[in-house]
Chains A and B, each alone.
Chain A
Amino acid sequence: MARVVILGAGVAGHTAALHAKRMLGKQHEIVVVSPNSKYNWIPSNIWVGVGKMSAAQVTFPLAPVYKRQGITFHQALARAIYPEGDLATDSGFVQISYTDPTRTGEIANISYDYLINATGPRLNFAATPGLGPDGYTSSVCTSGHAVEAAKSLEAVIATLKTGKRQALAIGVGHGTCTCEGAAFEYTFNVEHELRAAGVRDLAEITYITNEYELGDFGVGGLVFSQAGFQTTSKLWTESLFRERGIKAILGAHVSKIEPGEAHYELVDGSTGILRFDFAMLLPPFRGVEMQAFDKNGQEISEKLFAPSGFMKVDADYSGKPYEEWLASDWPKTYRNPLYPNVFAVGIAFAPPHQISKPRKSPKGTLIAPSPPRTGMPSGIMGKLAVISINELIKNGPSAQVGTASMATMGAACVASAGSGLRVGSAASMTMYPVVPDYVAYPNTGRSLDDTFGEIGLAGHWIKLALHYMFIYKAKARFGWFLIPE
């Protein structure tokens, strides 16, 4: 019997856990370690953040699902990995600290035959002084944050209804943030809500981002065909901003937040202050605080993790200049090169380079959107790790494992505003592949047949359908595995 330990129960970890139990069956043990008691379908936090959904609609308790599936669940935080074991055991293990209210602070070691690191990110609000719910800005990264954001937005709308003008700043709170698509989506949800409340004319909305151009989305922008022409996501997004009367500050590193003020530096070295009455600024991500030790207890974190704190896998981390990178540098198996029974999937793996061109201000400040690796790619990676482990268990260490590079997988992004079936709109985008491959697609880096953007109510229906479909799948209801990642 093999034991597969999965760290994290987000899209990647939870997908891996359910598929592991389905594929490996009762003869192997599946263990999930997550500090959270609930699953959160994060894409719908955007709707929670404007008060259109409750936290209960985007979350559900993990324990009953895992109990039904026969998966062992520890509500705990992974603190350290011992991939070689220690002096007492040769088996790799993970040291965990319980966050379960009945066992808070209790430490335990869980041995594994295979480890899937799907811890997701640490929300690094500390990178920008004053950023985040403990500072002066809101966030929609967790359902709890989104609930608080909705309350702040409600207060702003109440003030607007008194006839007083208000400034709203939405975007990212650091030069190295990712998830610009989520900030974009939240911007248009807020705009929609202000319009619905009849106060849009009194509100000034500014989108502040580290993207050098609108429509970059951390993937270097998209080219797609529309009405017989090749067009860019830049033009497409600018059109949407013009239509909705939203201003933008681009290529920005937010350096400090003070009450009602976001201080920023631009790529060209100029600085400015964006004044706000309401701000939702996403934080940059780091790897979670987890150390690694060898058999003798010597710390080997630098061998296992990149400086960003994310785990190294089978990518090219040689640090070539941006212009020399290839799609083939991206990981394919997500196995750690030193410890091949350890996988890192979703946000937890260290990307080899940015997809968007990194830039520095004259002062040397890095302003570079980090590559997104959430949602569909995360789910695919989680399933892939399980397929590979299944092969390794059945056929031994020399078994051929699966591959799924982000340079051969696509992603869909539906930025939807509104609620219900008749009121709302959405910007729907797909891209294939996520990481541009200029060898396979010399002109645009992506397939023009599979990369498109469209605005309309249909996208809103798709986003609603995805919400219910993926929560159904995550609850492991009948036929869940037929729903693709």
Chain B
Amino acid sequence: MENPNESIARAPLPTEKTLRQRKNLVIQFFRFCSINLKMIKMIRKGHHPMERKVK
């Protein structure tokens, strides 16, 4: 079993640009919309089987 901390030390680090983007209100607003849409799609997919059955 590999020492996890050696693996962590080799993991990719985000660049300054990525870190700024993660906090940028405009970019994050669009990400917020995008993530919500993805979640809604996933939720609809997951709710579908039971509701279809009982119709």
Asked, given contacts A243-B14, A387-B50, A387-B54, whether A450 binds B32 with beta carbons under 8 Å apart, the answer is no
Contacts of B41 in A (CB 8 A): 450
**A177-B36 Cα distance, complex, nearest whole Å:** 30
Our pick among B29, B35, B43 for the contact of A410 (Cβ within 8 Å) is: B43
**A235-B42 Cα distance, complex, nearest whole Å:** 23
Contacts of B5 in A (CB 8 A): 247-248
Interface string of A242-285 (1 = CB under 8 A from B): 11001111110000000000000011100000000000000000
Asked, given contacts A409-B46, A455-B22, A457-B25, whether A249 binds B31 with beta carbons under 8 Å apart, the answer is no
Stretch from A45-53, A120-128, A190-198, A398-406 forming part of the interface with B: A398-406
Which B18-33 residues have a C-beta within 8 angstroms of A? Answer: 21-23, 25, 27-29, 31-32
**A410-B41 Cα distance, complex, nearest whole Å:** 10
Other than A380-B50, A401-B53, A462-B36, give 14 A-B pairs with Cβ distance below 8 A: A214-B7, A235-B12, A268-B1, A380-B47, A404-B49, A412-B42, A412-B43, A425-B22, A450-B41, A455-B22, A456-B21, A456-B23, A458-B34, A461-B28
Our pick among A243, A428, A455 for the contact of B13 (Cβ within 8 Å) is: A243
Number of B residues with CB within 8 Å of any CB on chain A = 36
A interface bracket (residues with beta carbon within 8 Å of B)? 35 or more
Contact A400 B43 (CB under 8 A): no
Asked, given contacts A456-B22, A457-B25, whether A402 binds B4 with beta carbons under 8 Å apart, the answer is no
Contacts of B51 in A (CB 8 A): 387, 402
Contact A239 B13 (CB under 8 A): yes
- Does A485 interact with chain B (Cβ within 8 Å)? yes
Contacts of B50 in A (CB 8 A): 380, 383-384, 387, 402-404
* Distance in Å: Cβ of B18 to nearest Cβ of chain A: 9
Q: How many pairs of residues, A versus B, come closer than 8 Å at their CB atoms?
A: 126
- Does B17 interact with chain A (Cβ within 8 Å)? no
Contact A376 B46 (CB under 8 A): yes
Contact B11 A241 (CB under 8 A): yes
* Distance in Å: Cβ of A403 to nearest Cβ of chain B: 6
Contact A267 B1 (CB under 8 A): yes
Contact B43 A239 (CB under 8 A): no
Contact B35 A462 (CB under 8 A): yes
Contact A250 B42 (CB under 8 A): no
**A387-B46 Cα distance, complex, nearest whole Å:** 15
Interface of A is mostly: mixed
- Does A444 interact with chain B (Cβ within 8 Å)? no
- Does A305 interact with chain B (Cβ within 8 Å)? no
Q: Can you show 15 pairs from A to B with CB atoms below 8 A apart?
A: A238-B7, A242-B8, A250-B4, A380-B47, A391-B54, A400-B54, A410-B45, A412-B42, A432-B42, A433-B46, A450-B42, A458-B31, A458-B35, A459-B35, A462-B32
Contact A251 B42 (CB under 8 A): no
Contact A402 B11 (CB under 8 A): no
Contacts of B53 in A (CB 8 A): 400-403
Residue of A nearest to B40 (CB): A484
Contact A432 B35 (CB under 8 A): no
Contact A266 B1 (CB under 8 A): yes
Residue of B nearest to A267 (CB): B1
**A409-B47 Cα distance, complex, nearest whole Å:** 7
Contact A461 B14 (CB under 8 A): no
Our pick among B8, B10, B23, B49 for the contact of A457 (Cβ within 8 Å) is: B23
**A428-B32 Cα distance, complex, nearest whole Å:** 10
Which 3 pairs between the two chains have the least Cβ-Cβ distance? Answer: A409-B46, A238-B11, A402-B50
* Distance in Å: Cβ of A420 to nearest Cβ of chain B: 13
Residue of A nearest to B7 (CB): A238
- Does A106 interact with chain B (Cβ within 8 Å)? no
* Distance in Å: Cβ of B8 to nearest Cβ of chain A: 5
Contacts of B34 in A (CB 8 A): 458
- Does A302 interact with chain B (Cβ within 8 Å)? no
Our pick among A242, A456, A459, A484 for the contact of B11 (Cβ within 8 Å) is: A242
**A390-B51 Cα distance, complex, nearest whole Å:** 12
Contact A484 B43 (CB under 8 A): yes
**A401-B49 Cα distance, complex, nearest whole Å:** 11
Residue of B nearest to A409 (CB): B46
Interface string of A410-422 (1 = CB under 8 A from B): 1010000000001
**A428-B29 Cα distance, complex, nearest whole Å:** 14
Contacts of B36 in A (CB 8 A): 462
